[in-house]
Structure 1
Amino acid sequence: MNLNPSQEYLFRIRFHRSDDNYSAWSPSTKAITEKEPYYGENLHDAVSQQKFQEIHDVLQSGNVKIDVPDNEGLSALMNTARQDQTEIMKILLSFNASVNAKDDSGKTALMHACIHGQLAAVKILVQNGALYEDFDLGGSAPLHYAVDSCDSDLIEWMIRNGADVNIQDKNAHWTPLMRCASLNGNKLIALTLIRNGADIDLRDIDGKTCLMIAVINGYQKLVDVLLDNNANIVIYNKNGHTAYELAMSLEKDSIIESLMKFMKKQKIECC
């Protein structure tokens, strides 16, 4: 017999006697089935549909672990951080959601918020103990992902509130500025990082500087920004090449011209 949860039922019983006859039916007895317990799916559905009361009900039941992952491996806090659902984030945090829990790729809620450029969510997470110096399985930290979002306000707020502008990832040893020089060459993001203390001349695991990376990727405007901020043009990578030599080997004509003008201005011989 399949019974519905939280439902009142009336029951009567009778017995099969040894003479193959049945006893009389008993008086009716009332019974109420228990409410069906909540599951992780209930929490994620309530969050995705922004049903505030249902979120409270699920969490107050005590049947669901607040950090239970959904089908994509994300906790409710991670999902709300991605979508900047700050009011729901506050509810989850009030029920002790783990602010530094990680998904299968090692990403935290802060990293997800940074990827999607969600400044309000980032502020809440940081105020509740989210870590800046934390790395996913690919070796990247939250500020690296903030660079990917191309949100200068987000990047500036993070740096001014404790993020290390020169943090290097665990793979190529890229700083956020190097990541910018590699992935998008965004001039505004580069200027934001430099204005907030980025070291232009740090080198990655192969000895490359931001200038070299920008040259390799052909980001003319970023090359000009780096030169305007006095990037060191005579640094050699581990293969013994300078930014100018890389530009020559890759036939980046406009970049070569910029580098030559800079060297002439700085009275540097071709290197």
Structure 2
Amino acid sequence: MDLQTFLEDKFTQWSPPEPRVLKRTKCSITLDWHNVEPFHFISDELLYRLEKNEKMPPWVVVYRGGKTSKEIDNLAPRHCHKFRLRVIVKASAVPSLAARALQHYGDEAAVYEAMEAVGGSGDGCGTAAGAPAAGDGAVSAAPSSDGVGGLADELEDTRSAGRTARHKWLESRWSGLTWSSTDTDGTSAVCFCMAVRCGYLKQVQGMLDERPALIGITNSTNGFTPLATAVRKGDINTVRFLLGAGAEVEQRSTSGQAALHLAVLSASIPIVQLLLEQGADFEARDLNGLRVEHYAVDSCSLDMLRCVLDRGGDVHAEDNSGWTPLFRALCQNAATAVIEELVVRGSSLEQADRAGLPLTSAARLLRDRHGRGRDSVLRLVDSSYPHEKALANFTRLTKKIYNVQSLLKLPSPRNNN
């Protein structure tokens, strides 16, 4: 085998190095692939084909030409992208491979020694010289944008010149994959909170090691901190880990909710106890003035309500609307057991909200799932209800008796006398 044939075979067996990431922005990634050793002696006669992995088709051409760097723009933000590279020797440069190699390396022995690293492992990625890449599944996404003739132009020139099959262009194998992701403000926060929500403590630890500030960042998607995310999920192990990593127990979400509020709302008594042990403010209020007592009512859990009240919860605490926990329970159509617990604990039955609506009037508006009034609640909060109910029943019974007498046309006792 002469040197020319040897170099052609070696080039078709060669896989170039993976493209290197130079820069990332919100919607673009800049790649560089200037290293083409051991074929750098013909770097001025090389063309490059860069492809990006997609779903359909699997690979899309994003660049082809003679440049050794390229900014791939219009990429989806907050996404991972994969790229691969193929190097092509221009057809006009193929006949001079041996001469250029000897000029650069000095003698044939040096050329053979330099090419030893180029293996022929037969990984199925290479193509024959002069043949287009069959089965790549790639389509062109953009034409060549530099001043050097593109691959398509080179192929056309080759055909028009009537060159022999021996001296058509040469293609290398595909390089290894380059993985990178577009950057954006809040990307790390979203990914970190997702790892927290899934309970992936190993990934959470790795992200914190890389960027410690993530422990106190707020997710722009839902406004919750990592600690609040773990509390809402009810994962006490992740909550304990985040607290140990330095999470602020009093850091608020965008709605002003503290981690303790969310723990009470989730009716997670172990997490509530853990947060209180870490110094959570029991009397903290959110933007609407709600305290843990109100959130205990919203949790619809009698055990959670009792836990809060046993720890010193105030049944007379009012929010910005003037609602006490009992008033809120009535307006939220809470279970009778929750309302009874608040009444037994001494909640005021004479309460009225900021709009002047009495508590008893709110109770009279309650309806069950069948559309009927909730008598069990009215008996608890309205002292006049039993008398009114008895009077209504007596009136209804009297009316029925009168209707029966009218139907039977019974003579009155006075006429019998």
Q: Normalization by structure 1: what TM-score?
A: 0.70
- 2:365 and 2:40 map into 1 onto residues whose CA distance is 92
User: RMSD between aligned alpha carbons?
Assistant: 3.7
Matches within 5 A, 1:30-109: 39=180, 69=187, 74-76=190-192, 78-97=193-212, 98-104=214-220, 105-109=222-226
User: What does residue range 1-271 of structure 1 map to in structure 2 within 5 Å?
Assistant: 3-5=16-18, 10-11=38-39, 13=41, 22=96, 24-26=99-101, 27=105, 28=111, 29=114, 39=180, 69=187, 74-76=190-192, 78-97=193-212, 98-104=214-220, 105-170=222-287, 172-182=288-298, 184-219=299-334, 220-250=336-366, 251-260=373-382
Deviations 1:81-128 (A, max 9, x none): 222333443343344432111111321100100110011111121222
1:57: which partner in 2?
none
CA distance 1:178–1:82, change in 2 (3 Å): same
- 1:56-92 CA distance string (max 9 Å, x none): xxxxxxxx99x9626xx6132x223222333443343
Query: What is the rounded CA distance, in whole Å, between the counterparts of 2:190 and 2:40 in structure 1?
Result: 48
Tell me the distance in 1 between the aligned counterparts of 2:40 and 2:190. Answer: 48
Amino acid at match of 1:175: R
* Structure 1 match to 2:410: none
Structure 1 residue 213, shift from structure 2 partner: 0.7
Task: Measure the CA separation in 2 of the matches of 1:151 and 1:157.
Answer: 10
Q: Which amino acid aligns with 1:180?
A: A
Q: Structure 1 pair 11/127, CA: closer, same or farther in 2 (3 Å)?
A: same
Q: Deviations over 1:135-170 (max 9, x none)?
A: 222332222221332211111221232112222111
Deviation at 1:260, TM superposition (A): 4.2
**Partner AA of 1:25 in structure 2:** R
The Cα of 1:24 is off from its aligned counterpart by 0.9
Per-residue Cα deviation, 1:188-222 (whole angstroms, up to 9, x for no partner)? 11112222222221111110111001011221121
User: Separation in 1 of the partners of 2:249 and 2:178?
Assistant: 37
For residues 260 and 69 of structure 1, what CA distance do their matches in structure 2 show?
A: 54
Aligned-pair CA distance for 1:4: 4.5
The answer to which structure has the higher strand fraction is 2
Q: How many residues were matched structurally?
A: 231
Give the Cα–Cα distance (whole angstroms) in 1 for the partners of residues 186 and 177 of structure 2. Answer: 18
CA contact (8 A) 2:16 2:36 kept: no
Change (3 A) 1:231 1:5: same
Structure 1 residue aligned with 2:128: none
Question: Once structures 1 and 2 are overlaid, which stretch shifts more, 218-227 or 83-92?
Answer: 83-92
Name the CA distance, whole Å, in 2 between partners of 1:38 and 1:221: 57
Q: Which amino acid aligns with 1:125?
A: L
**Contact residue 315 and residue 324 of structure 2 kept, 8 A:** yes
Check whether the contact 2:297–2:328 (CA below 8 A) recurs between aligned residues.
yes
- The 2-side partners of 1:137 and 1:96 are apart by 22
How far has the Cα of 1:175 moved from its partner? 1.4
1:60 corresponds in structure 2 to none
Hey, what's the Cα distance between the residues in 2 that align with 1:113 and 1:207? 31
Change (3 A) 1:68 1:205: closer
Please give the alpha-carbon distance, in whole angstroms, between the structure 2 residues aligned to 1:218 and 1:118.
29
Which runs of 5 or more structure 2 residues have no equivalent in the other structure?
1-14, 20-34, 46-92, 106-110, 119-174, 367-372, 387-417
| Structure 2 SS opposite 1:221 | helix
Measure, in 2, the Cα distance between the counterparts of 1:150 and 1:39.
41
Indicate the larger mover: 154-163 or 113-122.
Answer: 154-163
SS of 2:321's equivalent?
A: coil
CA separation of 1:12 and 1:185: change in aligned 2, threshold 3 A: closer
* 8 Å Cα contact 2:186/2:219 also seen in 1: no
Secondary structure at the aligned position of 2:38 is classed as strand
Q: Structure 1 residues 230 and 162 mapped into 2: Cα distance closer, same or farther (>3 Å)?
A: same
